[in-house]
Amino acid sequence: MRIALAQLDPTVGDLAGNAALIAAAAARAAAQGADLLVTPELVISGYPPEDLVLRPAFVAACQATVEELATTLPLPVLVGVPWRDGAGIRNAAVLLDGGRVVARYDKMALPNYSVFDEQRTFLAGDGPLLIRAGESLFGVTICEDIWVAEGPADEAARAGASLVINLSASPYHLGKGQQRDALLATFAREHGCSVAYANLVGGQDELAFDGRSLVLDAAGELIARGAYCEEDLVICDIDLAPAAASTIAPAAEIAVHTPATPHEATIAPLPADQSAELWAALTLGLRDYVEKNSFNGVLLGVSGGIDSALVAALSVAALGPERVHGVSMPTRFNVAETRSDARIVAENLGIDFRELPIEDLRLDFHESLPELEGLAAENLQARIRGVLLMGLSNHHGWLVLTAGNKSEVAVGYSTLYGDSVGGFAPIKDVPKTLVHALSRHVNAVAGREVIPVSTIERPPTAELRDDQRDDQSLPPYDVLDPVLHAYIEDRLSPAEIAAEGLVDLATATRIAGLVDRAEYKRRQSAPGLKVHPIAFGRDRRMPITNRFS
């Protein structure tokens, strides 16, 4: 059997555009002699459609789009689509063949953890779906169905499928690809069953999807893999065992042709290391957020610090230098070195850059509010910068990017309505220690100092007062970040963190308190890309009003 996997980047709600992606992939697959094309989960609606599926008109439009698409396809295609039947709304995969829908599978395992809340919007299916292909059978599953032990995918294999197909929309985080590969290979070996896995690619709000669609033989050996963080069409020939007596009657049958010549499948390369993996996912997520929301460019404050330098470099990688605009807004507290580094990084990247000194504005504010002193006075500078950025955004239609990293977001080390101003936070889930690693990666790939070494090595500072450094308010980041990981992702208590030997109990308690008290800031912050197993926002839902410690 020659199978094709369409690794597509759909846009939520763009039903006609998503159908056009499928039609184009189908034409290419048919031209290469494929017997079947498989698309990702909910590709017609885009993923995740969230509460759009609670609108009857939306689901009806999805179904009508699929029925129209079926009349144009040159080969059988499995399409992911929300579907309403007499009982409710389903997360479905429909088989289109001969101009119509010939079979439908409803996802049985509906995830309700992490970023998923499918039990809120979908009804679970009630049984596997088998399709006959020549003398063999294949089972159809959707994403979580193959992750669940003794779940729907196992049922399909035990029922006689020699191939299990999985339509997936599996969100990215660091290490997720390796986790998926291991799970699918184990499944194939345990059941002696080939696996064809079609994953989504692209960015959708806070989520990135990394592709890496694959085909495994019945021994769990990789025979084809799609590109990482790019659209792709994966085509390969699979040798399938003839079906024995099945416990489930096939719902439909597709024709299988013996190809005149074997197809040489491609195994796309993977990123060289963690930094390359993370950089590609961040670039994809930022590009799609900007493009799919029709912004003509991005704007950010370039301070001379490492976070803004990294976000500027990321923006250029995602959009090109002509669509990136940087602004430096110094006061007397910004030293010559950081002002110089801000200009240098802009010149190195080739972006539009302007310097708007705000010292006079700072003094005007102090004249109007003479009672402000200390932190309240310092934060005025950040809020003045926020006003200027949003003014430029309103005038030019640029999306303001905020450069806060996960370490700062975690402990609230930002000014509300100041440096937290922005419409998107690309490195919101990237800890400070990884910011440094990514900055070195940018320079290594370029073979030159894109981000000045002085910016990377300078002690971090907000420069809101004379001689200020981050480590006057926080532990050093190489100490702070492991504690934050333990408290946020491992969900350890301060006492457990101290027992692990990361820091003493008093420091662990203080850091946990900072994280908890900053929840009200995070609720008002810009969305940002999830790149770790637990990110702020969809993953971690904590009360603002909370006296537990």
Active site residue: 41, 155, 277, 408, which one? Answer: 41
Can you tell me which residue has the tokens 């029925």? 67
Exactly one of 62, 107, 155, 463 is catalytic; name it.
107
Strand residue runs (E) in 211-329: 214-216, 222-225, 232-237, 252-254, 298-301, 324-328
Is residue 529 domain-resident?
Answer: no
Listed residues 207, 235, 270: the one ending a domain? 270
- Indicate the range of 101-110, 387-396, 536-545 predicted with least confidence: 536-545
Q: Calculate helix-pair angle for 306-319, 432-446, nearest 10 degrees.
A: 50
Q: Is 187 a domain residue?
A: yes
Instruction: Please check whether residues 259 and 217 belong to one and the same domain.
Output: yes
Radius of gyration of the chain (CA): 26
Sign of CA dihedral 474, 480, 484, 486: negative
Please indicate, yes or no, if residue 53 is contained in any of the structural domains: yes
Span 399-431, pLDDT tens digits: 999 999 999 999 999 898 988 999 999 999 999
d(CA 474, CA 497): 17
pLDDT tens-digit series, residues 237-276 = 999 988 877 778 999 999 998 888 899 999 999 999 999 9
Report the distance separating Cα 33 and Cα 198, nearest Å: 18
285 and 256 share a domain?
no
Judgement on whether residues 175 and 49 belong to the same structural domain of the protein:
yes
**Domain of 337?**
276-470+519-523
Q: Measuring CA to CA, which residue among 238, 484, 452 is closest to residue 339?
A: 452
* Global pTM exceeds 0.85: yes
> What is the identity of the amino acid at 229?
C
* 143 is a catalytic site residue: yes
Active-site residue among 62, 143, 193, 229? 143
Distance (Å, whole) CA 328 – CA 299: 11
CATH for 358? 3.40.50.620
Q: Which amino acid is at 383?
A: R
Residues 172, 202 contacting (CB under 8 angstroms): no
Report if residue 546 sits inside a domain: no
Residues 6+ apart with CB under 8 A from 142: 41, 80, 91, 92, 93, 105, 107, 166, 167, 168
Lowest mean pLDDT among 103-107, 176-180, 460-464, 472-476: 460-464
Paired tokens of 32? 């290469």
Examine the domain organization and report whether 232 and 300 are in the same domain. Answer: no
Which residue among 248, 270, 292 closes a domain? 270
pLDDT at residue 536 greater than cutoff 80: yes
Pairing of strands 352-355, 324-328: parallel
Residue 188 lies in a domain: yes
- Count how many domains the chain has: 3
Shared-domain flag, residues 196 and 232? yes
